[in-house]
Structure 1
Amino acid sequence: MPRDAFDYIIVGAGSAGCLLANRLSKDSSKRVLLLEAGQKDNYPWIHIPVGYLYCIGNPRTDWLYQTEPEAGLNGRSLRYPRGKTLGGCSSINGMIYMRGQARDYDHWAELTGDDAWNWENSLPDFKAHEDHYRLDNGATPEARNGDRFAQLHGNGGEWRVEKQRLSWEILEAFAEAAGEAGFERTEDFNTGDNAGVGYFEVNQRSGWRWNTSKAFLRPIRDRSNLTVWTGAQVERLVFESTGEGGTRCVGAVVRRGGDAATVRANNEVVLCAGAIGSPQILQLSGVGPAALLKAQGIEVVRDAPGVGENLQDHLQIRAVFKVQGVKTLNVLTSSLFGKAKIGLEYMLRRSGPMSMSPSQLGAFTRSDLSHPHANLEYHVQPLSLDAFGEGLHKFPAFTASVCNLNPTSRGSVHIRSNRCDDPPLIAPNYLSTDEDRREAAASLRQVREIVAQPALAKYQPEEWRPGVQYQTDEELTKLAGDIASTIFHPVGTVKMGRDDDPFAVLDTRLRVRGIAGLRVVDASIMPTITSGNTNAPTLMIAEKAARWIIADGLRHSDDSANENNRANSAADSRRAQETQAP
């Protein structure tokens, strides 16, 4: 392993890391090192949409995290997938393109005191890398100026957004039932107000998964100034004193192929290891709550009590309904002939069940009229199973999973030792507040209201889970703890915020407070979780951060040049004086 220096070191080749590597290496004078603990994304199941079933829980592509037993889940521990390959979570996630709501970003601006994060100023960063299929018609920029959709979306960027390639009668019936229950129909969840029912758009290209490795790394693989190391796990960051009590991050200790080496960064080290990995690396490096670090025998570089705190996630409550007289995936996969037919359809057309994201139909609504905005999200699927990763039921059924978009419960991520090989303690603390428990019961009641509408009556839906025998708020809340699961949206563990917030680890330009040369760019920086799936917001964060990193790098270069000029001038002056001396 070479031990020379780079201008930028990016830790983690997931959604944010791949985009940053693309943007920072555009300047051929800057040397960029991208580090990924996992392997290349050449595992076939990464690229077939239904392959997430074979990637989650697979050490080839998943970190295999587990949560601690959760009191709110009646003592259960959950599988907590995180991508471990080029593309990170974009290589194993549900492929849903969802920005959230305008209010999410306006709230960030309010919390941080920085309007750079509001919806108006974040929309251009969503559009900058977007390649939306509905703008593929070749219309001129002038024609698009009057098009409301074109004002909200981008085309020609790296991040492909397409319509799903499937059709299910039971999903359309659920959409009609939601309309009868008062939901509006929507064709676009990404306008800033995602209220309504419609089909999710997905990050696919012609029926293949479109991950961030394909989008941002493959087009630039010939850049000689970009180095990508896979199988490279960061053990810790390296710091040096800058004098007068200052500290600067100057590199990282990286283990690769059994050997460890220190790599150095002239400009910045950028952590993009995600809401679990980034706080873990910071804590292992001596940046975090002092008491936690000392308990693990780690020297405290900076006492930062917010590192690993503020964990937020979306907890989905999965209601299952048996149906009659309609096809569901349970039935189609019950025979070898059915499975072969599904495989043939994908092979010939790149469509059908093998092209499916985990959820196909979505809906956003309010749990009650006291909420000014949609606070619930539905993921509706033409299938059912006992738990993710297990086999489908033998009877025809559909699943309506619903989650509280804005949970008030907060959890934590803490290292359990001073070794990077030991997974951290992940405690989401689900359903730990009265408000979250009330929303859980209310959401289950709303699911029942939708299913009771006339549009679904002909299929004779029968509630199989949780079961009609459970009716009181107390019963429904306990049942939510028994059947709920994560939708894999952890955020917030290295949050940004105001200078007077002791738990804000980062400033609003995502720089670690008190340490020069170190930035965090991933979902961990969110002060509050967005109202929907979190991959698209993470790319927006990275797009915004790339501009700031480049701008700071230019200033750093100017400062270095000025310092060199001053040194050269001083040397010239000394030589002149020596020449003139008698």
Structure 2
Amino acid sequence: MSTGSGSIGTYDYIIVGAGSAGCVLANRLTASGRHKVLLLEAGGRDLNPWIHIPIGYAKTFRNPRVNWMYETEPEPELNGRRIYQPRGKVLGGTSSINGLLYIRGQQEDFDLWRQLGNAGWSYADVLPYFKRAEDQQRGEDRLHGVGGPLAVSDQRETHPLCDAFINAGVEQGLPVNHDFNGDHQEGVGYFQTTSRNGRRCSTAVGYLNPARSRDNLHIETHAHVTRVQVDNGTAVGVEFTRNGTAISARASGEVILCGGAINSPQLLELSGIGNADILNDLGIPVVSHLPGVGENLQDHLQVRMVLRSKQPVTLNDATRSLLGKVKLGLEYALFRTGPLTVSAGYAAAFFKTDPSLVSPDIQVHFILFSSDKMGDQLHPFSGFTASICQLRPESRGTIHAVSADPFDAPSINVNYLTQEVDRLANINGLKKLRSILHADAMKPFLAEEMDPGAGVQSDDELLQFCRTVGTTVYHPVGTCSMGTGSNAVVTPELKVRGIAGLRVADGSIMPRLVSGNTNAPIVMIGEKASDLILADAQ
């Protein structure tokens, strides 16, 4: 770790952001021993014990020591509410604080990327990278891999309430699906998680820890990158601050941005790369006019239904007393089982709101606790939650720097529900979820629908419910979109258009949001990016 000002030397590759993709690249680019790599992370080490306990995401949700704690501008279609946007600020990035769910997305998602002009990004192209990353508990087959850095596991144990939800989905016409990352996504079943033996497997654990001892990898934590240095159209290094000290580093090969959909476009703009009109308004000298930077923002909206249980089998019940909390802790410490091993979704459903659709457009997260909002104290009653998430929203937003000060949070405008198709999908998604929750299989458990409640029935009432309680599922992407058109920020090789020696490899490069949770696809992006970079180094 550096302690003084000035330059800390020259590296073949400088990776900005030690998150879901950055840790992958740090591992893969140093594996041969031939390349000297600098990994920069604005946060600290992943020492907080709650990071490594699966249910600990509830403890890191609003912890500024490991979380950027962003929020949107007032959202016009969500009653002017600001929507909290947590992002990991720690080794492992958001993979250290997320809900651990392992969902790749639909095969059609990646085939669409290819159809949009991104050669090398079809499902057949990216499947080998998903498999290479994976250490699948169930073993290897044509769609899954073993021996990779990222542990993928079944839930530690089943639960009667989840079983009832699965049976209710079957009553409502859904097939049981044991693998949402298999040939077909539609159905109902248990999630798999990025964990091993009841412990979180972030990319810091899976990828970075095995590479830490390599002499050719240098890691700087608490290193807030403020600018990419560009000389005559080539990225030649970065500037960052650590403990208030300004430091620079040179890159003889490439600078690779892995800051995510919020930080990567902001850093490009701070470096003079973006829409010239925006940069001029901020007083930032224009290095390259690239109007797509910060545009094309997409995110998944979540609308949560809260139910009261007839039986005291929820996490609300287990944590109501000190004795209950001690019991949970002992069960986890001794056996690595119990509610502390549960991810941010226990059971899942994927379904279509319109039978004419080729694939599901709604995902359901079913979880054994309830609260007024994520991160809040659990309800005093026996409660559980089921939420809908529209998988392919058509609403688009923006992320842009608000000043030339790198410590000012950017302006985030997601523009949820601004498209009619999104409003209809959420209304119909709630109707379908409600039919599942009120099916016969749920009757032994369902005491009352608390939110939205029996009084909310019409389409207008359901839409107003979405506007009142809707929030993010924490999947922002698309703001440095990959493509070949004039609004694309990076090429299919992830090179920033118009700037040599600069790439982006994180969720911001997705041209379209995937149909599911985003961590697994971002790990895949890091894997594929490493091959693209090393191929150019030959």
TM-score by length of 2: 0.97
Q: CA deviation at 1:167?
A: 3.0
Uncovered stretches (5+) of structure 2, i.e. residues with no partner: none
Q: CA deviation at 1:326?
A: 4.7
Q: CA deviation at 1:452?
A: 2.2
CA distance in 2, matches of 1:261, 1:336: 48
The Cα offsets for residues 121-170 of structure 1, whole Å up to 9 and x where unpaired, read as 111010012101111xxxxxxxxxxxxx6111000111111111133211
Q: CA deviation at 1:171?
A: 1.2
1:121 aligned residue: 125
CA distance in 1, matches of 2:311, 2:222: 50
CA distance in 1, matches of 2:151, 2:55: 18
CA distance in 1, matches of 2:225, 2:383: 45
CA distance in 1, matches of 2:358, 2:368: 31
2:537 aligned residue: 553
Q: Secondary structure at the match of 2:251?
A: strand
Uncovered stretches (5+) of structure 1, i.e. residues with no partner: 136-148, 242-246, 555-582
% same residue = 47
CA root-mean-square deviation: 1.1
Mapping 1:354-433, distance limit 5 Å: 354-433=340-419
CA distance in 2, matches of 1:174, 1:226: 47
| 1:299 aligned partner, one-letter code | P
Aligned with residue 498 of structure 2, among 488, 511, 514: 514
2:134 aligned residue: 130
Q: Secondary structure at the match of 2:333?
A: helix
| 1:134 aligned partner, one-letter code | R
1:564 aligned residue: none
Cα pair distance change 1:207/1:191, threshold 3 Å: same
2:178 aligned residue: 187
CA distance in 1, matches of 2:86, 2:353: 28
Contact 2:309 2:446 in 1 (8 A): yes
Q: State yes or no: 1:221 paired with 2:205.
A: no
| 1:40 aligned partner, one-letter code | R
Q: Secondary structure at the match of 2:523?
A: helix
Aligned length: 533
1:480 aligned residue: 466
CA distance in 1, matches of 2:444, 2:40: 54
CA distance in 2, matches of 1:35, 1:192: 38
Q: Secondary structure at the match of 2:45?
A: coil
Q: CA deviation at 1:113?
A: 4.5
Q: State yes or no: 1:493 paired with 2:479.
A: yes
Contact 1:112 1:496 in 2 (8 A): no
CA distance in 1, matches of 2:446, 2:422: 31
Mapping 1:229-268, distance limit 5 Å: 229-241=220-232, 247-268=233-254
Cα pair distance change 1:289/1:456, threshold 3 Å: same
2:293 aligned residue: 307
Aligned with residue 169 of structure 1, among 160, 175, 179: 160
Q: CA deviation at 1:553?
A: 1.5
Cα pair distance change 1:192/1:491, threshold 3 Å: farther
2:85 aligned residue: 80
Contact 2:260 2:506 in 1 (8 A): yes
| 2:500 aligned partner, one-letter code | A
Q: Secondary structure at the match of 2:116?
A: helix
Deviation >3 Å, runs of 4+: none
Q: Secondary structure at the match of 1:380?
A: strand
Q: CA deviation at 1:192?
A: 4.2
Q: CA deviation at 1:186?
A: 1.0
1:99 aligned residue: 104
User: Greater CA deviation, 252-261 or 428-437?
Assistant: 252-261
Q: CA deviation at 1:415?
A: 0.7
Contact 2:18 2:41 in 1 (8 A): yes
Q: CA deviation at 1:527?
A: 0.2
Contact 1:100 1:192 in 2 (8 A): no
1:199 aligned residue: 190
Q: CA deviation at 1:216?
A: 0.9
The Cα offsets for residues 266-302 of structure 1, whole Å up to 9 and x where unpaired, read as 1100000000010010011111111111111000111
Q: State yes or no: 1:528 paired with 2:512.
A: yes
1:292 aligned residue: 278
